[in-house]
Amino acid sequence: MGKNNGATREKILDTVTELFVDKGYHGTGVQEICKAVNLGRGALYYHIGSKEQILFEISMSLLQMAHDATVPHVQTDDPPEVKLRNIARALLRHHATHGGGWQVAIREARFLSEEHQRKVVGARREFEQIWYRVLRDGATAGQWGPVDGIDVRAVLGMFNYTARWMRSDGPLSPEQIADRFVDLLLDGLKGKPADQ
Amino acid sequence: MGKNNGATREKILDTVTELFVDKGYHGTGVQEICKAVNLGRGALYYHIGSKEQILFEISMSLLQMAHDATVPHVQTDDPPEVKLRNIARALLRHHATHGGGWQVAIREARFLSEEHQRKVVGARREFEQIWYRVLRDGATAGQWGPVDGIDVRAVLGMFNYTARWMRSDGPLSPEQIADRFVDLLLDGLKGKPADQ
């Protein structure tokens, strides 16, 4: 795909994400999408495809970006605790800059076709596996106790839920929030310093 | 409101919750609602009101139920740790039995009128305050370190995100998951027993 097509594609995804944020997947008509991206129905289909395909592309491109922002931090010799802190910061930075996209991807996932749902679930599992491996490596290294799927869900629930409340103009930066969350996860409420 | 009306009202909310789960708020037409609850448009409006009003009632009744299931556990002389465990179990039990409702309430909240959004946010804050007070009381009693709004959001994110993955036929009961989460919150990964 040529450079211009790539740019158009990205612009379409960004614009439609905003529409889906405001009106929901079912509340957004194809007519409205065409108008917002300034393309005819045929050109829209040429660039991406159906409305469902656009939702799929939005979800996959978000997961891909989160994956790409995370992987470099685990391909290091850092100890697991440092890796955990770095991937947490990367995820919340990504949430902070793509909050609308995450809200759409999380909310509207059930409207994807079965095949697309399978692919999105697969990509999400792959992303969760990165977290699971870091948590497991820390346990293996004796840095903390053994972990399983419930821990990974607890951790990712905490982080993913920030899409609902974190604002880019909030009092704490995404990195500060990530650090607070990681501290809480590592040491618990009982390990919190009294002077924080 | 009479007994029969109450029953009708509850049945309407349950049925429409299912429709909203399947098709989303915007994907569900008033015609479809009338057909599903077997009422004419006039009778539907008489019992509840507009589609938006139904979404509002679903959200408020969920928050009210969660509130009612939680409050008895904090109006006791139990130590904060026991209170935390009990309200966590109560919330996950409620999520397990009203998962569809929670998904709708969380996803579709932005389609409520401004006035209704204000009321829902108010009710949610009131619910969050129960958690905040338990966490704060534990800190005051020296059971754990000081807490603030970030901790409350971390905790509630962890619990609320279960609406996306917890299944009533899953391998762990809601109470078991709640206990695991509370253990993690209190002691952290570093405090996890090696033999779990």
pLDDT digits (tens, 9 = 90+) for A6-17: 668 888 999 999
Q: What are phi and psi of B41, to 5 degrees?
A: -55, -40
pLDDT at B137: 97
Instruction: Mark yes or no for CB contact A184/B185 under 8 Å.
Output: yes
A30–B contact, CB cutoff 8 A: no
Least confident among A150-154, A167-171, B12-16: A167-171
- Contacting residues for A85 by C-beta, under 8 A, at least 6 apart: A178, A179, A182
- Contacting residues for B70 by C-beta, under 8 A, at least 6 apart: B87, B90, B91, B127, B130
Of the residues B20, B181, B189, B190, the best mutation for testing chain A's interface (the one with the most A CB atoms within 10 Å of its CB) is B189
Contact call for residues A98 and A174 (beta carbons, < 8 A): no
Contact call for residues B60 and B22 (beta carbons, < 8 A): no
User: Across the interface, which of B139, B161, B190 has its CB nearest the CB of A186?
Assistant: B190
Q: Give dist(CA A184, CA B25) in Å, integer.
A: 36
Q: What does DSSP assign to residue B143?
A: S
B171–A contact, CB cutoff 8 A: no
pLDDT at A2: 43
State the smallest CA–CA distance between residue B4 and chain A in angstroms. Answer: 34
Instruction: Mark yes or no for CB contact B150/A180 under 8 Å.
Output: yes
pLDDT at B15: 95
Q: Give dist(CA A115, CA B105) in Å, integer.
A: 27
State the smallest CA–CA distance between residue A104 and chain B in angstroms. Answer: 9
Question: What pTM value is reported for the model?
Answer: 0.89
pLDDT at B85: 98
**Neighbour tally for A45: CB within 10 Å:** 14
A153–B contact, CB cutoff 8 A: yes
Instruction: Mark yes or no for CB contact B161/A158 under 8 Å.
Output: yes
The architecture (CATH level 2) of A1-49 comes to: Orthogonal Bundle (1.10)
Maximum distance among all alpha carbons in chain B? 62
Instruction: Mark yes or no for CB contact A189/B193 under 8 Å.
Output: no
- Reply yes or no on whether the pLDDT at A123 is more than 80: yes
pLDDT at B5: 61
Q: In a 10 Å sphere around its CB, with 0-12 CB exposed, 13-18 middle and 19+ buried, how is residue B2 labelled?
A: exposed
pLDDT at A63: 95
Q: Give dist(CA A150, CA A156) in Å, integer.
A: 10
Average pLDDT over residues B15-27: 92
Residue window 98-127, chain A: list those with CB within 8 Å of chain B. 106-108, 111
Average pLDDT over residues A164-188: 92
Question: Residue A138 is which amino acid?
Answer: G
pLDDT at A129: 96
Q: In a 10 Å sphere around its CB, with 0-12 CB exposed, 13-18 middle and 19+ buried, how is residue B100 labelled?
A: middle
pLDDT band of residue A165 (cuts 50, 70, 90) is: confident
pLDDT band of residue B1 (cuts 50, 70, 90) is: very low
- Reply yes or no on whether the pLDDT at B3 is more than 50: no
- Reply yes or no on whether the pLDDT at B195 is more than 70: no
- How far does chain A reach from its first CA to its final CA, in angstroms? 52
pLDDT at B63: 95
Instruction: Mark yes or no for CB contact B161/A161 under 8 Å.
Output: yes
pLDDT at A7: 65
pLDDT at A85: 98
For residues B49, B54, B58, B61, the Cα torsion angle rounded to the nearest 10 degrees is -10
Instruction: Mark yes or no for CB contact B181/A154 under 8 Å.
Output: yes
**Which class would CATH give B52-190?**
mainly alpha
Contact call for residues A191 and B140 (beta carbons, < 8 A): no
State the smallest CA–CA distance between residue A151 and chain B in angstroms. Answer: 8
B149–A contact, CB cutoff 8 A: no
Residue of B81, B185, B60, B194 whose CA lies nearest to B143: B81
User: Across the interface, which of B23, B158, B186 has its CB nearest the CB of A190?
Assistant: B186
The pLDDT mean for chain A works out to 92
Give chain B's radius of gyration (CA, Å).
19
Percentage of chain A modeled with pLDDT above 90: 76
Question: A188: nearest CA in chain B?
Answer: B188
Q: What is the pLDDT of residues A46-92, one digit of tens each?
A: 988 999 999 999 999 999 999 999 999 999 999 999 999 999 999 99
Q: Which residues of B touch A189 (CB under 8 A)?
A: 135, 138-139, 143-145, 147, 151, 185-186
What are the domain boundaries of chain B?
Answer: 1-49, 52-190
pLDDT at A1: 42
